[in-house]
Amino acid sequence: MEPFGDSEVGIGPETASEVVDDLLGLPIRAQLGVLRSVVPRVLSGLSPEEREGFWRVLRDEVDLAALGEEPYDLRVQGAAGPVHEGRRESALGVFLAAVADKLPDRPKASTLFDSVVSVVRVLGMRVGEAELENVLAQLPIRLREAIDEAPFEEIDRPRRIDKEAFLGRVADDCCGGDLERARQISHAVLATLTERLGNVAARARRQLPLEFRELF
């Protein structure tokens, strides 16, 4: 028998899926043992860029699952990385990825989630409850629930806080007091709202002074 990976006979997607299905039928400790043996050998056949992409997608999937999202079917088909064949890409995952794309680094999904909750809630303080409800209605349900449950002060009418006070609240809530990081996060979240919510985000933006424009 030829060594694994050296055969010229390729393993098709259907066969790969069957192997994974068989693996999932094993006890969890056996699954982990197989994965520890196989994954390094699979990854060794990928380029550095492909390995980085594989781990990034895998890490995002683990983070999203920890947030309560149903995980994708992570069966690998080809060297490009996980193929999402189990369900549609989640609205939450798409939204968080859009935010992450605007940051100089790529935080964990759970960190991004908390940052979005903070920025949107502080935005609600500035524009008022009615505008906040319009924004929330367009967000993925997990974000809506988390923002509704966030331990912020009550929002009944707009608070006339300026941009620096806005960033200060975000910094204190999710950035360890780092104003520059709060600016990056606020821009990433607000720009994503503008892209994805259209007129709803534009209405909220019109409630803000011109000094906020650079955050969008």
Is residue 5 one of the residues assigned to a domain? no
Residue 84 is predicted with a pLDDT of 43
Task: Give the structural domain span for 50.
Answer: 13-88
Between CA 170 and CA 106 the distance in angstroms is: 18
Q: How high is the mean pLDDT of the chain?
A: 76
- Domain ends where: 88, 109, 132? 88
Residues 152 and 195 in one domain: yes
Residues 103 and 177 in one domain: yes
Residues 113 and 73 in one domain: no
Across 78-87, 131-140, 173-182, the highest mean pLDDT is recorded for 173-182
Higher pLDDT, 113 or 84: 113
Mean pLDDT of 96-125: 89
Number of domains in the chain: 2
Higher pLDDT, 212 or 6: 212
